Amino acid sequence: MKLNFYKYQGAGNDFILIDNRDGSIDHRNPLLISKVCDRRFGVGGDGMMFLQNVEGFDFEMVYYNSDGQPSSMCGNGGRCIVAFARHLGVIGSETNFLAVDGPHYAKISDSGDWVSLQMIDVDTVDRDSEAYVLNTGSPHYVQLTTGLQHKDVFAEGRAIRNNTTYLSKGINVNFVEPLDNGYFVRTYERGVEAETYACGTGVTAVALAMAQANDQTGHISTPIKVLGGDMNIRFHYDGLKFNDIFLEGPAVKVFIGEIEVGDLGEYQAEEQGL
């Protein structure tokens, strides 16, 4: 079986996107997805998404991490699938779509490569010693640090993600260093189980946590630098709740391709050890 796909990236966070509006692909197949996401033997990507029809919305975003497992919300993936939907002619400059954490509104630039995605409201920020812990569609651990350019994010992030507190459900680990204008962020992502070039829900969590840490309120705009480029998070904070949260950044089509994946049933049998 041949699978037609599109490759998109948002600040270096890269994804394989599939148009599944006809419902012909049964994507509940972790082995298939993990093999297609493999960077040596497949297409390569931090995750894989399926754009599907759903009643009451322009489309549905179904997202899997590169390990083949269903994921919580992916912010950069959300921005990329909006650009994909525009490419397919599903939407114009604005959209309301459904993701795993509920409805999302987004707006895309006239050029089609910059997307502002509204995220869920956040009213709880917990602490784990000096770190901040919050859920912005996915769970995040936010830790201030210095010398971030040279930090071993893989080793330190993996240790936190797999400690006794977070091992069962996992958590995304963000290391943050203040810049003259905004913050530099590097993230270890669960499901990918490695550092990624960007994490949308992660930089959102960082911006909110830093606003609370610095006693900022009102309408706030926070520039964030990641390994894959520049992003921005704007939101309103009244001292108790964060709302009108928008994750903004690039969403770029890299290429269109086709991959031979064989019979989907073969993957089911291999997964079951038959």
The CATH code of the domain that includes 27 is 3.10.310.10
Helix (H) or strand (E) segment spanning residue 239: none
Is 257 found in the same domain as 215? no
Is 109 found in the same domain as 6? yes
| pLDDT score for 274 | 38
Closest CA to 126 of 167, 171, 184: 171
Is 130 found in the same domain as 79? no
| pLDDT score for 265 | 52
- For 147-194, the pLDDT digits (tens) are 999 999 999 999 999 999 999 999 999 999 999 999 999 999 999 999
How many angstroms separate the CA atoms of 94 and 106, rounded? 6
Is 266 found in the same domain as 233? no
Active-site residue, from 16, 48, 74, 83: 74
Phi, psi of 136 (to 5 degrees): -115, 30
Is 154 found in the same domain as 105? no
| pLDDT score for 273 | 52
**This prediction's pTM:** 0.93
| pLDDT score for 218 | 98
Collapsing DSSP states into helix, strand and coil, what is residue 66? coil
Is 74 a catalytic site residue?
A: yes
| pLDDT score for 1 | 82
Count of beta carbons in the 10 Å neighbourhood of residue 268: 16
| pLDDT score for 66 | 95
Is 192 found in the same domain as 137? yes
| pLDDT score for 112 | 85
- How many independent structural domains does the chain possess? 2
Collapsing DSSP states into helix, strand and coil, what is residue 82? helix
Closest CA to 62 of 24, 91, 101: 101
| pLDDT score for 269 | 45
Domain coverage including residue 180: 126-244
Contacts (Cβ under 8 Å, ≥6 apart) of 40: none
Is 139 found in the same domain as 197? yes
Is 93 found in the same domain as 69? yes
Helix (H) or strand (E) segment spanning residue 77: helix 75-88
Collapsing DSSP states into helix, strand and coil, what is residue 130? coil
| pLDDT score for 268 | 52
Residues of the chain with pLDDT under 70: 263-274
Is 233 found in the same domain as 132? yes
Contacts (Cβ under 8 Å, ≥6 apart) of 20: 27, 50, 51, 52, 62
Is 131 found in the same domain as 234? yes
Is 170 found in the same domain as 102? no
120 inside domain: no
CB 245 within 8 A of CB 119: yes
Active-site residue, from 99, 199, 209, 224: 199
195 inside domain: yes
Is 91 found in the same domain as 6? yes
